[in-house]
C-alpha cells in the first residue's frame, strides 16, 4: 500500500467548517469520550479511526445530536458553520437534523422500514419535514434515487427494501440522508458490509455528491485503505481520547503516536505478509468501561513508563495541523 498522493487529498472549496471543541460524553457514570477537539475544514472529509470501543461512533452520534437515551453530552461544543448543535433543543434541534447534520448508518437494511416501499420512505421525509404534497414528494423521491445513481428510479421506488441489493439499499439511505442538502454528513462505516466492488462504487458516489453539494464529511472506518481513498484528514481515537490528528499523508508517512503506528503496522502486515506468515497484532485489548489512569494506551504501549501510567498526556502541536497526545513523541519507533 502506498500513501495517497496529494491529488487524492484535494479539498473542495464549498461547505461549512465543523469545529468539535472539548467534546465529552458519558454513558451513566462511565465517561466514554473525553475532551476531544479537532476541526474539519469546509468541504473536506475527516476519517475517524480506531479499534471497536475507541469512541468513534459515540463521537459521531454526539456530533449529530442523536445519542441514545442512556448517553449524555457532559461538556464541549459542536459547531457546524454558524450553528452550535450542542445548544439546540426541541423544535430547533429537530429542524437542524437533516439540514445542518445528517447521519448515514452502517446497516442500510436495518435503517429502512421493511414493510414500506423505498420510494414512500424517501417521500415521507419531504411530506413530514416540508409539508410537500404526495405528487411532489414522490417526484422528489424519484429525483433523489436518480441522483445517487439508481437506474429506473420510478421502478425501484415501488420496491420493498428486501428486493434491493446491499449496494442499492445503501444508495437509498444516502438519498434520504441528503434530502435537505445538509452541511455535515456523518457516515458510520457505511461500506463495511459491502463487497469490494460495491464499496468502491459507494465511495466514488459519496465523493461526487460531496463535490456537487459542498458537503463536509465525518467518515467512521476501521479500514485504512478506505482512509487512503477518501480522507483529507484523520482523527485517531483510543479510549475515548484523541490520540493523533493529522492530514492523510501525515498519517501514512509521518505518524507519531505509538497507537497510530501500531494500527499502520497491522494494516501493512495484513496486506504484505508472506503466505502463512503471522500477522502483526497489538497485544492486549482496548479499555472497556472506565479508562485506566494516565494515558489510556499505556497498558499496551511499548514506550510506556511510570509517567504514562500516572499522567494523562495532552495533545501537542507537532506541525501545522498535526497534533498527538503522548509523553514520548521524541522517541523514534
With CA atoms as reference, report the closest residue to 148 among 108, 95, 115, 113: 108
Distance CA 193, CA 40 (A): 26
**Per-residue model confidence as pLDDT tens digits over 78-127:** 999 999 999 999 999 999 999 999 999 888 888 999 999 999 999 999 99
Distance CA 186, CA 217 (A): 6
For residue 44, the 8-state DSSP code is -
- Confidence at residue 232, expressed as pLDDT on a 0 to 100 scale: 97
- Confidence at residue 10, expressed as pLDDT on a 0 to 100 scale: 41
Distance CA 32, CA 296 (A): 11
Q: What is the three-class DSSP state of 220?
A: strand
Instruction: List the chain residues with pLDDT less than 50.
Output: 1-13
- Confidence at residue 273, expressed as pLDDT on a 0 to 100 scale: 62
Residue 305: CA atoms inside 13 Å, Cβ hemisphere, count?
A: 6
With CA atoms as reference, report the closest residue to 47 among 199, 271, 229: 229
With CA atoms as reference, report the closest residue to 191 among 209, 203, 205: 203
C-beta pairs of 316-320 under 8 Å, 24+ apart in sequence = 318/256, 319/250
Strand partners, 104: 187
Distance CA 294, CA 203 (A): 38
- Confidence at residue 14, expressed as pLDDT on a 0 to 100 scale: 58
- Confidence at residue 333, expressed as pLDDT on a 0 to 100 scale: 57
Distance CA 37, CA 19 (A): 8
Rg of the chain's alpha carbons, rounded to an integer? 21
For residue 4, the 8-state DSSP code is P
Distance CA 275, CA 264 (A): 20
**The model's pTM:** 0.90
Domains in the chain: boundaries? 110-177, 254-324
Scan for cell 433523489, then name that residue. Answer: 144
Element (H, E) at 290: none
- Confidence at residue 290, expressed as pLDDT on a 0 to 100 scale: 74
- Confidence at residue 28, expressed as pLDDT on a 0 to 100 scale: 86
Contact 209, 15 (CB under 8 A): no
Scan for cell 502483526, then name that residue. Answer: 280
Q: Which residues contact 195 (CB under 8 A, 6 or more apart)?
A: none
Question: In 10 A of CB 88, how many CB atoms?
Answer: 17
Strand partners, 236: 49, 244
Strand partners, 1: none
Contact 78, 62 (CB under 8 A): yes
Q: Per the structure block, which three cell numbers stand in for 102?
A: 445528517
Q: Where are the beta strands (DSSP E) in the chain?
A: 18-27, 30-40, 45-49, 71-80, 83-84, 101-104, 184-188, 216-220, 233-238, 241-247, 316-319, 322-324
- Confidence at residue 231, expressed as pLDDT on a 0 to 100 scale: 96
Amino acid at each position: 500500500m502506498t500513501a495517497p498522493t496529494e491529488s487524492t487529498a484535494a479539498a473542495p472549496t464549498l461547505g461549512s467548517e465543523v469545529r468539535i471543541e472539548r467534546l465529552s460524553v458519558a454513558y451513566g457514570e462511565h465517561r466514554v469520550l473525553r475532551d476531544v477537539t479537532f476541526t474539519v475544514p469546509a468541504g473536506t472529509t475527516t476519517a475517524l479511526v480506531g479499534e471497536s470501543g475507541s469512541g468513534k461512533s459515540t463521537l459521531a452520534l454526539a456530533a449529530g445530536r442523536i445519542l441514545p437515551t442512556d448517553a449524555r453530552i457532559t461538556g464541549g461544543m459542536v459547531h457546524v458553520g454558524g450553528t452550535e448543535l450542542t445548544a439546540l433543543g426541541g423544535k430547533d434541534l429537530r429542524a437542524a437534523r437533516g439540514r445542518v447534520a445528517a447521519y448515514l448508518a452502517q446497516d442500510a437494511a436495518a435503517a429502512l422500514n421493511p414493510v414500506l416501499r423505498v420510494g414512500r420512505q424517501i417521500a415521507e421525509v419531504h411530506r413530514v419535514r416540508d409539508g410537500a404534497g404526495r405528487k411532489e414528494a414522490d417526484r422528489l423521491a424519484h429525483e433523489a434515487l436518480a441522483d445517487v445513481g439508481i437506474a429506473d428510479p420510478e421502478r425501484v421506488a415501488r420496491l420493498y427494501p428486501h428486493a434491493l441489493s446491499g449496494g442499492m439499499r445503501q444508495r437509498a439511505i444516502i438519498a434520504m440522508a441528503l434530502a435537505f442538502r445538509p452541511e455535515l454528513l456523518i457516515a458510520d462505516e457505511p461500506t463495511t458490509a459491502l463487497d469490494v466492488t460495491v464499496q468502491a462504487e459507494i465511495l466514488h458516489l459519496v465523493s461526487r455528491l460531496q463535490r456537487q453539494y459542498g458537503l463536509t464529511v465525518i467518515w467512521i472506518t476501521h479500514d485504512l485503505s478506505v482512509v487512503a481513498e477518501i480522507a483529507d484528514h484523520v482523527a485517531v481515537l483510543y479510549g475515548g481520547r484523541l490520540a493523533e490528528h493529522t492530514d492523510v499523508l501525515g498519517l501514512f508517512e509521518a505518524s507519531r503516536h505509538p497507537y497510530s503506528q501500531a494500527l499502520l503496522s497491522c494494516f501493512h502486515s495484513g496486506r504484505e505478509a508472506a503466505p502463512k506468515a503471522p500477522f502483526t497484532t497489538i497485544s492486549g485489548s482496548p479499555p472497556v468501561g472506565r479508562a485506566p489512569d494516565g494515558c489510556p494506551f499505556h497498558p499496551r504501549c511499548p514506550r510506556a513508563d511510570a509517567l504514562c501510567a500516572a499522567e494523562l498526556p495532552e495533545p501537542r502541536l507537532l506541525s501545522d495541523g498535526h497534533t498527538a497526545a503522548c509523553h514520548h513523541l521524541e522517541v523514534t519507533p
